[in-house]
Amino acid sequence: MEILGRTFRFAAVRFAALATVCGLFAIAGSRAEAAVGFQRLTYTAPGGAHVEAGIWYPSEGVEKPEPLSLNEQDVVTGGAVRGTDLPLVVISHGTGGSFTGHYDTAIALAKAGFVVAALTHPGDNYLDNSRALFISDRPRQVSQLLDFMLEHWSGRASLSTQKVGAFGFSAGGFTVLALVGGRYDLGLVSEHCADHADEWTCKYVANSPVPVNFAVPRADGADTDPRIKAAVVAAPALGYTFGKAGLANVRVPVQLWRAAADEILPQPFYAQAVYDALPVAPQYFVVPGAGHYDFLAPCSAALAQQVPDICTSAPGFDRAAFHRRFNAAVVDFFKENLR
C-alpha cells in the first residue's frame, strides 16, 4: 500500500506491522481486550424521522455469532457498557447503504475502547433513496445522531463529550468533511457533469426521477459540528464541490483514503481534490488495486450472491486482508487524535 502526506512515506513492512502493533492496545488502564457489546435501535430525530442505528462498544461477557443483515458478527448483544470517559466515533455510510456497511471497522474500534454509533441515513439507504440527491441533509442527520448519543443513549454516562471522531465513506466522506468545516458549492455538480457525463455520479443525477436544484446555496459553515475533533474520510464523494478554498477552515486532523482503481469516483476529482484543498496535509493512504466498494466490510457468501457488484473485488485484491490493515490504521489514528 502506498501512503502519502505529512511529507513522509511508510515502508510497506512497517504498515503491515501496524495491525499487529495496534492489536496489542486495549482499553486504557485495562490488561484484557474488551468484548464487544452491540445494540440495534431506532431513535426519533427532530422533525419526527425514525432513524435506525447500530452501536458497538466495550463490554463484558461472551461474544456470540449474531446475524447482521446478511453478514454475521461476534458480539454481546445488549451487553453492559464497560469503562468511563470513552471516546465516541460516529459513522456515515455511502449512497444507498446502511448502518451495517462498516461493521468490521466498528468492531475493531470497540475492541480498542471506543464507542461507535452508525446510522442509516433517512431517505438515502438501501430501502429508501427518495432523498439520496439531497446530500446536504446528511450532516444535520449525523449531528442529530451525536445529540442522541450524548444526551439520550442509555450508556451516555460512559461517554466523553470531548473525544468525538467521525468516519465517512463515499457520500459519508462528503458528509464528514462538511461537519468538520468544509464549505461546498453544489452548483459545481452541473458544471462538472457537463464535461463528465459518463461518471457514475453524473449518470445517477441524470437518471434521478427527483429534480434537485444543486444551485441552492448553503450558508458558510452551516454544517460544522465543533464537537468532532478528528475525521477519517474514505473515497469522498463530490470532492470537487469544495473547490480550492472550501476546506480552508478544516482544523481537525484528517485521515484520507483513496482506492487506486476507484471506478465510481475517478481521479482527480474526488479524494485527490480533497487532499489538494486541505490546509494541512492529511495522513493520505492510496490503496493499490482497490475499487470503490473495497472500503465496505468483506461480504458473506449470502451477501455476495445478492449484491455482487458491491462485494466483488478485482482479481488479486484481498479485501479481508486489506481490512485488517485498514481497520488497524483507523484505530491508530483515532487513538492518536482523541486522547
Over residues 238-271, the pLDDT tens digits come to 999 999 999 999 999 999 999 999 999 999 999 9
Looking at 1.10.3720.10, 3.40.50.1820, 1.10.10.10, 3.40.50.2300, the CATH number of the domain 2-102+118-337 comes to 3.40.50.1820
Contact by Cβ (8 Å): 291, 314? yes
Predicted local confidence at residue 208, as pLDDT: 85
Q: Report the alpha-carbon distance of residue 229 to residue 323 in Å, rounded.
A: 24
Predicted local confidence at residue 13, as pLDDT: 32
Residue type at 57? Answer: Y
Q: Report the alpha-carbon distance of residue 204 to residue 136 in Å, rounded.
A: 17
pLDDT in tens, the chain (339 residues): 444 443 333 333 333 434 433 443 333 434 357 899 999 999 999 999 999 999 999 999 999 999 999 999 999 999 999 999 999 999 999 999 999 999 999 999 999 999 999 999 999 999 999 999 999 999 999 999 999 999 999 999 999 999 999 999 999 999 999 999 999 999 899 999 999 999 999 999 999 887 666 656 565 778 999 999 999 999 999 999 999 999 999 999 999 999 999 999 999 999 999 999 999 999 999 999 999 999 999 999 999 999 999 999 999 999 999 999 999 999 999 999 998
Residue type at 136? Answer: S
What residues does each domain of the chain span?
2-102+118-337
Nearest to 180 by CA among 228, 240, 120: 228
Per the DSSP assignment, residues forming a β-bridge with 55 are 39, 117
Predicted local confidence at residue 209, as pLDDT: 80
Nearest to 139 by CA among 103, 172, 97, 186: 172
Contact by Cβ (8 Å): 316, 11? no
Residue type at 246? Answer: G
Predicted local confidence at residue 266, as pLDDT: 97
Q: Report the alpha-carbon distance of residue 136 to residue 147 in Å, rounded.
A: 18
Nearest to 96 by CA among 46, 59, 133: 133
Helix (H, G, I), strand (E, B) or coil at 15: helix
Q: Report the alpha-carbon distance of residue 8 to residue 254 in Å, rounded.
A: 15
Scan for cell 458491491, then name that residue: 310
Residue type at 113? Answer: G
CA angle 149, 228, 336 (to 5 degrees): 110
